[in-house]
Structure 1
Amino acid sequence: MNAIPDGMAADRLRPCHPDHRVADYLERRWWSPLTVLDLLDGHVRTRGESCAVTDPTNLPELCGLEPAELTWRELDARVDDLAAQLHESGVGPGDVVAVLMPNSVALTATYFALWRLGAIAAPMPASYRRHELTRIVESASAVAVVTVTDLGDRAPSEEALSLIGELPSLRTVFTFGAAVSSAGRPLDADPATEESREAVRRVYGALPRSVNDCVTICWTSGTEAAPKGVPRCHGDWIAVGQAVQDGLETDPAAVMLNPFPMVNMAGFATSLLPWLLGGGHLVLHHPLDLAVYLDQLQRYRVTHTSMPPAILTMLLQRADLRAAHDLSALRRVGSGGAPLPPGVVRDWQYSLGVEVLNFFGSNEGVCLLGAPSDTPDPMIRAEYLPNYGAPERTWVTGVAERTSVRLVDPATGEQVTEVGGRGELRLQGPTIFAGYLAGTAASSPFDDDGYLCSGDIFELCGDNGEYLRFVDRSKEIIIRGGMNIAPAEIEGILIDHPAVADVAVVGYPDDVLGEKCCAVVVPATAAGVELEDLVSFLRAKEVASFKLPERIVTVDELPRNPIGKLQRRDIRSAIEKVG
């Protein structure tokens, strides 16, 4: 093999951004000229025998795979092997391959193998089933699916195989795990020959590459509609990863435990990219199993991890769990996806000696980071995020000075400049994506000035507008008699009620006022909680009367997507059925 075979021409590598933007970002050093492959190769050269990546200890129970722990050099060899096998089955530059796997060494190596071939990964949470898989394969014209043969009581490979012949683009289903069908192509049965691996590395090493080459198509959560495809290139991801790395401050001695699915902003930005940029050891986890997670924190002497706010709160309340595990190595925890209770962030820092970073991000490239070095006071850091557009203020992350930020009143279109004003967050800069995958979005997400319209409502805060406080998603605002109510604001207060373990606030129809508030609560104790308790608690906090819930529904668990965001559509449907 001396050349890229016919049909795999280098011009099939897919760019994301227009050439002039790429040239501008590189000239200003807003983007690194390196690719994610360059970052991997650098660690292989300099830290080849150091531990790089470790599987979850419960991987056999999850999907029947034996746990692995690889050095950087061993990871590189595994990537070569997978690349050769994928190539032999026809995967090449510009091809989209859907990936449906739990967090694992196999998933990590699969991504790099695809990128080494110039192919594009279309990752999705392992919890997705045939319905979501169909949409994503069809939308992205994926030529293959990489998945596992078993996942709990499911057979994802069989679900994928059933789509061959139904979806024109789909040719092959690659599998990890015990073979259950001769139709799939196993990737962990017979390794590629040494000759094949060397040939693929030689040929694809000569493939012309650009930091603008698309490497992933991630997917919006789809809580209100069908998921939209979000193409991302090397330059996008490294810019986002560097922003987070500036706050996490990981280094080659860091041990990172990732409990978020490595399929989008949450997993890539908070773990995969900081690991590649800072080096160190990446320990994988997901779906969340608290006993396994706590064991990993202790066993691997984890220094950095991420936790949803609900887990932060629960662990703070459960001194017995903390006492049963040695968490003394833990230095920093990233959290986001929901408002952070300020008292919880304070107590983690002052009582447990662990700094909590406030992350706010989206697949489209919104990337705000509340870091301890910027905001030492944990109470402020929990509630507010940095306003990168604030005059005469610098921030620890270099992306701050490269990002233009506006708050725009969604009703008037005017820019919000007064402290206390609220508006939609709009951004422009090197972390922002180029636009949705064709055919997956009804309209452009950018305004006439080229700013990304995030759909997130923030309030301008601080003495000089140096902070932003998240209010809510614009489409989730409840309008009661013409007054706007932000569910996240009320949820952030009610989560501190001692009888509340978890809470969602949603609107329900009212013939007179249009909508009213319903508090959907997971009680913290068997005694439960009454509406009057919540209303009294909110009144004591001097919350405006029109924001008070007028109905309560108690549930055992709130539906959340794989990264912990509330599935409000499902919650609203559930309370409608209750009546």
Structure 2
Amino acid sequence: MRPPQTQIDHYHGAGLWGAETIDSRFRANVARAPDRLALADAPNRADFTDGAPYRLTYAELDRAVDRVAALIRARGAGPGDIVVYQLPNIVESVILFLACARAGAIASPLLVQFDGNEIDYVVGKLQPRLFIAGRFKTRDLAANAASICESAGCTLIRVEDLLAGAGAPAPIPPSGRDADDVVTICWTSGTEGRPKGVMRTANNWFVTGRNMVHGAALRDGEVILNIRPLVNMAAIGGSFMSWLATASTLVLHHPLDIGLVIQQIRDERVSVTFMPPAFFVSLLKDERVRAAADLSSLRLMGTGSAAIPAWAIDGIEREFGIEIINFFGSNEGTSLLSTPREVPDPAMRATLFPRFGRPEFDWPTFPPTRDFTTHLVDPDSGEEIEEPKRPGEMRIAGPGIFLGYYGEPEMTKAAFDERGRYRTGDLFEIAGDGDLARFYRFVGRCKDIIVRGGIKIAPAELDDLIAGFDEVVEAAFFGCDDDRLGEIVGVAVVPKPGRTVALDDVIAYLKSRRVAVFKLPQLLLTLDALPRNGLMKVQRDRLRDLARAQEAA
């Protein structure tokens, strides 16, 4: 699984892709700073998974990667084979990522919230050699996947076996794979319903890493606190690649606990972190949180995945002297960011993004390159949009864009337009005339995707699952506004005559189908009929409006 040779030749020739791999960069960091702290578990690790917290230097981490890479090979996963793992944010999740790279295997991490419905699909799609899991809170993730792995002929390994044993592992032969081979398959929801496996190479990831270093002005030896699940762009691109690019210390956190975040920032002397908007609001509005906060080491916080209030950016920067960067990205490689260097005004930075990838503009944090382009296109006519205040779909081309969706050639083809640009499905507009013409403003999505706290959910998948629920004539899922998470899942139902359906009834049915908990609805609309357009497609935007009216009543 590699990009087309013409693309490889082009990006290598332009100096945008190189020969460095994930493993070679990590080995270079080990050689440069063997005694530097590389990884630190959250102090509450024992509360949500097995084992005491680890703290590993780069030299110790390198030995652990050697051991796990040898285990991967010994259990039958060779170069190019797929290894699926389902772990919370613990040091083993980073070790596995690096060990897969060293062994030449393809890493496919899963959210811990994935249940039998999602795991069965992923394992059936990928046919992985290994599935590695442990415990998360009260759920035994390994036991949960056991029958699925047995049916698929996939070897199941419990996470506690990864670092067991004494002595140095035998060296493994080089994998023979390079920076243009796929290294990860991460999972994103799509409008077609089922998750899609996003394939990225080491060179794709290094482009993201460079964007983080330049955009966030990262320094050597940062202390980075990661609170996002290490399964997709937000954490791998934001935290892991920043850590790898700067030989920094990566401090792990899971699940999100604002009090513990404050403690870790103080105790670990964290300098960089990426937080959801809810953290900013809590820090400014909750007197107990603010009183306990020692943020003297923190110089930079990134945010994204949901709208952040302008007053929150302004308040954090004024009160704590911390630089705030607003990110907009996706697993596929969408990469926009708004920093104080391009957008000094916090109110503007909350909603506007520089028009990177446009030859008419230069920006201090983004190196100009003709190989990265952004365009707005009318989703109906296909016309290129140049005038302000007219929404269009963001389309992007460049060396950081993903290779394609695993095993889905038609979906991959549909994801790109006739000029090879990725169709993001996100609506932006040029912000205005004059100086505002230099900026994009996010408008919404032209797809139906729900983004709950940064995790994408396809309502079409849930529509398919609820079709077997006998209490309703029809039902449809949609996104609802939420101040904390950006969006939550809503469901509209048309009950069968004489029946009454409650939200708990829908939740119980979906749980019986072993649906991941983050996909469960939190709001119910009861209707006589679902609103549809002339093509009989459910109007989910209309359902959102009805939910707003219900909440306001």
Measured against the shorter chain, the TM-score band is 0.7 to 0.9
Measured in 1, the distance between the counterparts of 2:108 and 2:488 equals 33
Query: Which residue in the other structure is 1:482 paired with?
Result: none
Provide, for residues 347-376 of structure 1, a one-character-per-residue CA deviation record: whole Å limited to 9, x for no partner. Answer: 111222111101100011101111222222
Instruction: Please say if residues 238 and 273 of structure 1, whose CA atoms lie closer than 8 Å, have aligned partners that are also in contact.
Output: yes
Which of 95, 116, 128 is residue 109 of structure 1 equivalent to?
A: 95
- In 2, the alpha carbon distance for the partners of 1:505 and 1:255 equals 32
Q: Tell me the residue number matched to 1:275.
A: 243
Q: Cα deviation per residue 1:387-444 (whole Å; 9 max; x = unaligned)?
A: 1144432121237653111101112111110011110000100111122111386462
Residue by residue, what CA displacement relative to the aligned partner does 1:508-562 show, whole Å, maximum 9, x if unpaired? Answer: 9899xxxxxxxxxxxxxxxxxxxxxxxxxxxxxxxxxxxxxxxxxxxxxxxxxxx
| Cα deviation, residue 56, structure 1 | 1.1
Distance 1:455 1:128, change over 3 A: same
- Alignment of 1:173 onto 2:156: yes
Change (3 A) 1:421 1:449: same
Where 1:48 maps in the other structure, the secondary structure is coil
Match of 1:319 in 2: 287
Question: Is the counterpart of residue 449 in structure 1 residue 435 in structure 2?
Answer: no
Secondary structure of residue in 2 paired with 1:199: coil
Is the counterpart of residue 411 in structure 1 residue 361 in structure 2?
no
Q: 1:566 to 1:471 in 2, by over 3 A?
A: farther
8 Å contact kept, 2:79–2:177: no
- Measure, in 2, the Cα distance between the counterparts of 1:128 and 1:510: 25
* Aligned position for 1:384: 352
How many residue pairs match? The answer is 476
The one-letter code of the counterpart of 1:41 is: R
Taking the aligned partners of 1:374 and 1:158, their CA distance within structure 2 comes to 50
Task: State the SS of the aligned residue for 1:471.
Answer: strand
Distance 2:319 2:192 in 1: 40
**C-alpha contact (below 8 Å) 1:32/1:238 kept by paired residues:** no
Find the residue that maps to 2:305 and give its secondary structure. coil
Is the contact made by 1:83 and 1:114 (CA closer than 8 Å) also made in structure 2? yes
Question: Deviations along 1:422-476, whole A, 9 cap, x unmatched?
Answer: 1000010011112211138646200111111000000111425211111111124
Please point out which of 146, 155, 165 is paired with 2:140.
155
1:541-556 equivalences under 5 Å are none
Picking from 163, 171, 183, the partner of 1:215 is 183
Equivalent-residue separation in structure 2 for 1:216 and 1:101 (angstroms): 15
C-alpha distance in 2 between matches for 1:415 and 1:385: 19
Say whether 1:575 aligns with 2:544: no
Q: Does 1:468 align with 2:419?
A: no
Aligned to 1:188: 163
2-side partners of 1:85 and 1:460: how far apart?
52
1:37–1:116 Cα contact (<8 Å) kept: yes
SS in structure 1 opposite 2:429? strand
Per the alignment, residue 139 of structure 1 pairs with 125
Q: Provide the residue aligned with 2:260 in structure 1.
A: 292
Distance 2:320 2:192 in 1: 38
Equivalent-residue separation in structure 1 for 2:302 and 2:410 (angstroms):
30
In the alignment, what sits opposite 1:562? none
Q: Hey, what does 2:33 align to over in structure 1?
A: 47
SS at match of 1:454: strand
Unaligned runs of 5+ in 2: 451-477, 495-516, 528-546
Q: 1:515-526 counterparts in 2 under 5 A?
A: none
Alignment partners' CA distance in 1, 2:116 and 2:211: 35
Match of 1:540 in 2: none
Query: For 1:305, which of 265, 273, 277 is the aligned residue?
Result: 273
Return the offset for 1:110.
0.9
How far apart, CA to CA, are the structure 2 residues paired with 1:128 and 1:507?
Answer: 19
Q: How far is 1:378 from its partner?
A: 1.8
Residue 9 of structure 2 aligns with an amino acid whose one-letter code is A
Where do residues 255-270 of structure 1 align in structure 2 (5 Å cutoff)? 255-270=223-238
State the TM-score, normalized to the length of structure 2.
0.81
Give the corresponding residue for 1:241. 209
State how 1:551-566 maps to structure 2 within 5 Å. Answer: none
- Conservation of the 8 A alpha-carbon contact between 2:223 and 2:248: yes
- TM-score scaled by length of structure 1: 0.77
Separation in 2, partners of 1:42, 1:380: 40
* Separation in structure 2 between the aligned mates of residue 406 and residue 281 of structure 1, nearest angstrom: 37
Contact 2:226 2:274 in 1 (8 A): yes
Counterpart residue identity of residue 418, structure 1: E
SS class of match (1:165): helix
1:21 equivalenced with 2:7 (yes/no): yes
1:190 CA drift (Å): 2.0
**1:43 and 1:279 in contact (8 A); partners too:** yes
The alpha-carbon deviation at position 295 of structure 1 amounts to 1.0
**Aligned equivalents of 2:488, 2:66: Cα separation in 1:** 49
In the alignment, the residues of structure 1 paired with residue 489 and residue 117 of structure 2 have an alpha-carbon distance, to the nearest angstrom, of 27
Matched, 1:67 2:50: no
Give the 3-state SS of the residue equivalent to 1:472 in structure 2.
strand
CA distance in 1, matches of 2:444, 2:293: 36
| Cα distance per residue 1:290-341 (max 9 Å; x no partner) | 2222211111011100111122112121232122131111111110001121
Larger deviation: 88-97 or 381-390?
A: 381-390
Distance 1:19 1:258, change over 3 A: same
Is the Cα–Cα contact under 8 Å of residues 229 and 440 in structure 1 kept in the other structure? no
Identity over the aligned pairs, expressed in percent?
33
Residue number among 304, 323, 327 corresponding to 1:355 in the alignment: 323
**Equivalent residues of 1:309, 1:339 under 8 A apart:** yes
Give 1:240 deviation, angstroms: 1.1
Q: CA 1:507 to 1:459, structure 2 compared with 1: closer, same or farther past 3 Å?
A: farther
Indicate which of 110, 117, 134 corresponds to 1:124.
110
Determine the C-alpha separation between the residues in 2 that align with 1:340 and 1:128: 27
SS at match of 1:163: helix
8 Å CA contact retained: 1:244, 1:369: no
1:560 corresponding residue in structure 2:
none
Answer whether contact 1:229 1:437 (CA < 8 A) is retained. yes
User: Matched residues in 2 for 1:449 and 1:370: separation?
Assistant: 27
Q: Name the CA distance, whole Å, in 2 between partners of 1:243 and 1:162.
A: 42
AA of the residue aligned to 2:421: Y
- For the 8 Å contact 2:393–2:427, the answer to whether it is kept is yes
Tell me the secondary structure at the aligned position of residue 521 of structure 2. Answer: helix
Counterparts of 1:576 and 1:400, CA distance in 2: 52
* C-alpha distance 477-119 of structure 1, shift in aligned 2 (>3 A): closer
The residue that corresponds to 2:394 in the other structure is 425
Regions of 4+ moved over 6 Å: 505-511
Compute the displacement of 1:27 (Å): 1.2
Q: What is aligned with 1:251? A: 219
Note closer, same or farther for the CA distance 1:49–1:223 as it changes in structure 2 (3 Å cut).
farther
Residues 239, 399 of structure 1: 8 Å contact kept: no
Shift of 1:171: 2.6
| Alignment partner, residue 531 of structure 1 | none
Q: What's the CA shift for 1:250?
A: 2.2
State which of 183, 191, 200 in structure 2 corresponds to 1:232. Answer: 200
Q: Distance in 2 between matches of 1:510 and 1:156?
A: 32
Separation in 1, partners of 2:486, 2:371: 37
Answering whether residue 85 of structure 2 is matched by residue 93 of structure 1, we say: no
Residue of structure 2 equivalent to 1:544? none
